Structure 1
C-alpha cells in the first residue's frame, strides 16, 4: 500500500520521489554501515556504567540486569532499524508522524543536545587521559581533542575514518583484553569482582531487586534507539535482515554492554583504590598500562565521538533549518556544534552524568515507547519518507504529544520522589523509566484507536492499493 498526497503538483512530485526511493545505489554498503555503527560500541561510558551498576547493586544483579538489557535492546532495535531502512526515515523525519512538525523540532533539539552532551563527556575522558599521561591543563587538552575530532566527520575525512574504524575496533577490543590481563597479573586474579555485593543497601536500591534497578538504569541510555534510526536510514533495503541480526541486533549489545561491563567490573574490583567513575577507570588504565592505555582510550573515544559529533551537528542543523529558518552549509553546523562542545567541556559536566542521564532518559524513553508502538500498530501500512515535505504534516499531532507529555510528567515526578522522601529514591529511579515507557505506549495505543485521523500526522491522505 502506498500513500498518494492530493492537492497540488508538489504532492505529485512527492509521490514520484517516493517511488524513486526503491533504488539502493546511494545507500551505504552493509560492511561500511556495520563498521560505522560498531564504532558506537567503543564508548568508555559503557565500561563505566557496568562497573557503577555492580558497585551499587552487586555483580550478580548487575549481570542479570545487563543480560535482560541486551535482549530488550536487540528486540526493539530490530523493529526500529527495519522501519528506518525500509522507509529511509531519520528521527527528525519520523517525529513528524508521531508529534507533528513543531513537536518533531522538540525531539530533534533534544537528540542534538544529548549527542552533544555525550561528545562532551567522551571527549573529556580523552582530555583527562592526556592530562594523566603528560600533565598540563584540561582546557588545553580539551581544545586539542575538539580540534582533531571535528575534521573526522567532514567529507573525505569521514570516508577515511569509515575504513580506519575497521582497524580501530580490534585495537579497542584487544586493548581492553590486555588491560584485564595486565591488571590480573599485577594485582592477582581473584574473585572479588564476581562476588561483590554492597555491604549496606543504598536508599535507591530499595525500589526493587538489584537486577531490575540495573535494567532501569540502562533505560537511561535508550538514546541508542534514536541513534539506531538515524544510522539505519543509511542502509540498503536488501540488507535489512543482516542489519537486524548483526548490525543493530543483540550481538552489538553483547559487545557494547556485556563485554564493556565485564572489563569495567573486573578493573574496578581488581585495581586497588580505583574510583568507580569514567575518569577514574580511564586514569587507572593510563596508570596501569602507560602509553598503551592512552592509545586504547584515544582509539575507543575517537570512534564513538565521530557518531556523537555527526549526530549532534546533523540534528542541530535540522532544528536550525526547521525552527530558525537558517539555511547554512553543513560545515557551519559542524563548527557551531564543535564550539558548543568545547565550551561545555570547560564545565564540570562529568560530575552531573547520572543526573543528566535520568532527566534525558525520561524524555527519550517516552519517545522510544511511542515510536515502537506506532511501528507495531501501523505494520508498515503508512509509509514515512524524507520525500514528503513538512508542509504536508500537521504542526502538532495530538496523539503523540499527549502521550509524550503525560509520560514525561510521570517520569519526572518519579525522579523527584527522592527529594520528597530519601527512602523513596529507589522507587523513583527503578520504576520511573519503566512507568514512563509503559504509560507512553499505552496512552498512544489508546489514542491510536480513538483518534485514527491523527495516526500519520499528514494533513490529508488518500490510500491507494
Structure 2
C-alpha cells in the first residue's frame, strides 16, 4: 500500500495528459497576448507615483528605486509567467495549492476587489477629464465611462483586449511624448525635474535612503504579479521565452514604470501649478492640450481598464461560483462587476488611494512571496496542473495559510508604527513591504521542509 500525495490516479493521468497535449491551439498568439497585457502599462497611476516619489525623495533616488523595481518585477514575473503558461494556472487555480480549496476563495475575493478598486480609480480619472473639459456632474461622466468600457470585455478577453489595446498603444505612447514636448515648448525646459531634492527631510525617510523608500513604495503594486499569472495562463507554451522577456519581463516594466515616471516627473515640474497627483497630472494634460489631451487620457485609461474590468469580473465569478455556488452567464458577472464599479465611483475613492495601496499591498506581497517560493522549491518535483478537480484539494492548506497570516500580521504591524509614533513612520513604510515578503517566503520554505504532506494542497489518497 502506498500514499499518493498528488491526488488520485485518474487525476494524475488526466493532468499529465493535459500537460503532454499542450492545447496551444486554443491559446492566444504571442502578439495578441502581448498587446492585451501592455494595456496595463498605461495606468496613470504609474505616471503619478513616479512624480510623487521624485518630489518626496529626490529625482535621482526615485529613478534608482524605479530601476531596482524594474529588475525585481521582471525577474519574479519571468518565473511566475513560465509557471502559469506551462500549467495553465490562474491565481484562482494556484491558490488552491498554497491555501487550500476554501482558502483560495480569500485570494479570489481580494484579487477581485483590488481589480475593481483600480477600475474605479482609473475610471474616475477619465470622468474627471470629461468634467474638467465639458462641465457637468461627476455621476454622469462616471456612468458614461462605465457604459463605454463594459462592452469591451463582453465576450471575453481574447476577443477584444488585443485589438483594442493594439489600436490605442500608439496614442498612449506618442500622446505622452507629445505632452512632454508640448509642455516644454510652451513653458520652457525646467532642469529641476532631474536635479530636484526635497527641501525638508521627511519623517519617513528616516527608515532608509530615498531609493529604498521608492522601491518599497512600488512593492505596493505587486498585484501586477497576480495579474501576470491570469494573463500568462492564456499564452502558448512555445512562446514561453518571448513572454518571459518581452510580455511580462523587464521590457514591460521599462515602459510601465520608467517611461511613465519620467513623463510624470517632467510634466509636474514643467506645467505651472501641476500637483504630483493623478487628478493633478490629468488636469494639467487636459489644460495643456485641450481636446487632444482628452483623447490621450481616454486612450491610456481605456487600455488599463480593460484589464481591470476583465480581472475583476473573472475573479468575482470564480469567488461567487466557489463560495455561493452561483452559476450565471459570463455576461451577468461582467454587468454585476460594472455595477459595483459605478456605485463605488460615486464615492471619494481617489482620496484614499495611498491608504488602500498600503493595506492591500501587505496581503498581495505575502501571497506573491509564497507563490514564488512554492514555484522555486517545487521545481522538477511534479507540479500540479489546473485540471485537477476542486474536491481533490484540502479545504485549507496550513502551510500557505500560516505563512500568509504571519507575514500579514508583520506587514500590518509595520504600517501601524507611524500611527503609534510618527518618528517610526519611515521604518514602517520603507521596511514593511520588504519584511512582509521575506517573512512569507521564509515561513513557507520552513513549512515546506517540515510538513511535506501539505506541499501540493491535495488530499492524500490511499491506493495501490
TM bin (shorter chain): over 0.9
Do the aligned partners of residues 20 and 129 (structure 1) sit closer, same or farther apart at CA in structure 2, a change above 3 Å counting?
Answer: same
Provide Cα deviations, 1:240-259, integer angstroms capped at 9, x if missing partner.
00100110010000000000
Contact preservation (8 Å) 1:17, 1:387: no
Deviation at 1:271, TM superposition (A): 1.1
Provide Cα deviations, 1:297-355, integer angstroms capped at 9, x if missing partner.
10011111000000000000000000111111111110111000000000000000000
Contact preservation (8 Å) 1:80, 1:228: yes
2: CA distance, partners of 1:271 / 1:458: 57
1: CA distance, partners of 2:161 / 2:94: 28
1: CA distance, partners of 2:347 / 2:300: 23
Deviation at 1:6, TM superposition (A): 2.2
Provide Cα deviations, 1:249-285, integer angstroms capped at 9, x if missing partner.
1000000000000000000111111111101100100
Secondary structure of the equivalent of 1:155? coil
Deviation at 1:387, TM superposition (A): 1.2
**1:333 counterpart residue number:** 333
Residue 308 of structure 1 pairs with residue 305 of structure 2: no
**2:240 counterpart residue number:** 240
**2:375 counterpart residue number:** 375
1: CA distance, partners of 2:405 / 2:382: 24
Q: Deviating runs (4+, > 4 A) in structure 1?
A: 461-464
Residue 64 of structure 1 pairs with residue 64 of structure 2: yes
Provide Cα deviations, 1:172-207, integer angstroms capped at 9, x if missing partner.
000000000011011111211111111001111211
Q: Which runs of 5+ in 1 are unaligned?
A: none
Residue 411 of structure 1 pairs with residue 411 of structure 2: yes
Contact preservation (8 Å) 1:382, 1:456: no
1: CA distance, partners of 2:368 / 2:157: 32
**2:7 counterpart residue number:** 5
TM-score by length of 2: 0.96
Deviation at 1:221, TM superposition (A): 0.3
The CA RMSD over aligned residues, in Å, is 1.8
Do the aligned partners of residues 157 and 375 (structure 1) sit closer, same or farther apart at CA in structure 2, a change above 3 Å counting?
Answer: closer
Contact preservation (8 Å) 1:114, 1:360: yes
2: CA distance, partners of 1:462 / 1:134: 69
Q: Which runs of structure 2 are paired with 1:196-275 in the superposition (5 Å)?
A: 196-275=196-275
Provide Cα deviations, 1:355-404, integer angstroms capped at 9, x if missing partner.
00000000000000000000000004232322111100000101000000
Provide Cα deviations, 1:397-416, integer angstroms capped at 9, x if missing partner.
01000000000000000000
**1:90 counterpart residue number:** 90
Provide Cα deviations, 1:411-458, integer angstroms capped at 9, x if missing partner.
000000011001111111111000000000000000000000000001
Q: Which moved more, 1:70-79 or 1:375-384?
A: 375-384
Provide Cα deviations, 1:202-232, integer angstroms capped at 9, x if missing partner.
1112111000000000000000000000000
Q: Which runs of structure 2 are paired with 1:175-186 in the superposition (5 Å)?
A: 175-186=175-186
**1:31 counterpart residue number:** 31
Do the aligned partners of residues 123 and 463 (structure 1) sit closer, same or farther apart at CA in structure 2, a change above 3 Å counting?
Answer: farther
Contact preservation (8 Å) 2:6, 2:460: no
Contact preservation (8 Å) 1:89, 1:384: no
**1:397 counterpart residue number:** 397
Residue 342 of structure 1 pairs with residue 342 of structure 2: yes
Contact preservation (8 Å) 2:399, 2:448: yes
2: CA distance, partners of 1:345 / 1:236: 37
TM-score by length of 1: 0.96
Contact preservation (8 Å) 2:109, 2:315: yes
Contact preservation (8 Å) 2:164, 2:303: no
Do the aligned partners of residues 157 and 435 (structure 1) sit closer, same or farther apart at CA in structure 2, a change above 3 Å counting?
Answer: closer
Secondary structure of the equivalent of 1:102? coil
Do the aligned partners of residues 395 and 136 (structure 1) sit closer, same or farther apart at CA in structure 2, a change above 3 Å counting?
Answer: same
Secondary structure of the equivalent of 2:77? helix
2: CA distance, partners of 1:307 / 1:149: 11
1: CA distance, partners of 2:125 / 2:463: 52
Do the aligned partners of residues 245 and 15 (structure 1) sit closer, same or farther apart at CA in structure 2, a change above 3 Å counting?
Answer: closer
**1:129 counterpart residue number:** 129
Deviation at 1:15, TM superposition (A): 4.0
2: CA distance, partners of 1:267 / 1:419: 33
**1:285 counterpart residue number:** 285
Contact preservation (8 Å) 1:61, 1:214: yes
Contact preservation (8 Å) 2:410, 2:432: yes
Deviation at 1:166, TM superposition (A): 1.4
Secondary structure of the equivalent of 2:382? coil
Deviation at 1:55, TM superposition (A): 1.0
**1:112 counterpart residue number:** 112
**1:423 counterpart residue number:** 423
Deviation at 1:76, TM superposition (A): 0.2
